[in-house]
Amino acid sequence: MLAWTPPGQNPVLWLSPLASFEPGVAVRGGVPVVFPWFGAGESGDRSPSHGFARTAAWQREEVVNELAASGPLLVRHRLDATGRDSAPFVAELTSRFTPERLEVTLTVTNPGAEPFRYEEALHTYVAVSDVAEVAVDGLDGCGYLDKVDGGPEEVVQAGAVRFAGEVDRVYRHDGDAVITDPGWGRQVVVGKSGSANTVIWNPGAAKGAALADVGPNWPGFVCVEAGNVRDAAIELAPGDQHSLAQVLRLS
């Protein structure tokens, strides 16, 4: 998913003007799907980073109301383990667009005979006027791992999350996050379900400039991601399924 812009508003999803659309390359922006591992995985040696789902060719299964001028638009895609070095799985991504909200749901089913353990995240790039001016509320008092400092101990969030440099954090957080953007005079509410973690990321000036598909555009987004990673990874019994959902709306 690459774009959602409510009527009369600035885009809610950010897409880098330097994004690559080549096969096998992750698109920088929108809502990439992190699956079946996060980063280098729980073992620390998985490749590619954040799993193969965000660079795979998903099969489009259904489009509802594709040509309507207004009203909901629903798009459903499917990915399975065929041809991949992975345990059996079926992943379904459902995106539902309305003028008021964007709903994204990743449902994973285990059709195999053994338990299937995986990590997942909806790597949502939210467009902002200037990341240095925004604040993310809703995580006060939540513990997080700071991937920038690299320390093994959790830190407890105090107040709103603000951005004065690179921020890369995995929070224990299952509630809503609210992005306040004074430059565009709006709040973006990121709600979720089936999620034990919220990941927040912006590369900052030095790392952003070094990323070929970000460059000088790094101040234009903040990633707020619903997920289940690290010790909150999902373990599906044979025949079971799990849904991770995220809802974006303006307030």
- Convert the pLDDT of each residue in 60-69 to its tens digit: 999 998 555 6
Of 60 and 83, the one with more pLDDT: 60
Per-residue confidence (pLDDT) for residue 70, from 0 to 100: 64
Please pick, among 50, 119, 120, 123, the residue that the annotation labels catalytic: 123
The model's confidence at residue 150, banded by pLDDT at 50, 70 and 90, is: confident
Residue 225 annotated as catalytic: yes
Mean pLDDT value of segment 161-186? 98
Per-residue confidence (pLDDT) for residue 131, from 0 to 100: 98
Tokens of residue 87, six digits: 């345990």
Q: How far apart are CA 104 and CA 107, in angstroms?
A: 10
Strand partners, 199: 170, 225
Q: How far apart are CA 147 and CA 48, in angstroms?
A: 18
pLDDT in tens, 223-250: 999 999 999 999 999 999 999 999 999 9
Residue 220 has pLDDT above 60, yes or no: yes
pLDDT, averaged across the chain:
95
Residue 77 annotated as catalytic: no
Please pick, among 166, 225, 235, 242, the residue that the annotation labels catalytic: 225
If DSSP codes are grouped into helix, strand and coil, which group holds residue 232? helix
- Work out the number of other CB atoms within 10 angstroms of the CB of residue 55: 16
Beta strands in 46-142 (DSSP E): 59-64, 73-80, 90-97, 101-109, 116-118, 120-122, 125-127, 135-137
The model's confidence at residue 196, banded by pLDDT at 50, 70 and 90, is: very high
Per-residue confidence (pLDDT) for residue 65, from 0 to 100: 83
Per-residue confidence (pLDDT) for residue 67, from 0 to 100: 56
Contact 70, 40 (CB under 8 A): no
Residue 109 has pLDDT above 80, yes or no: yes
Q: Which of 190, 26, 210, 183 is nearest to 124 (CA)?
A: 190
Q: How far apart are CA 68 and CA 66, in angstroms?
A: 6
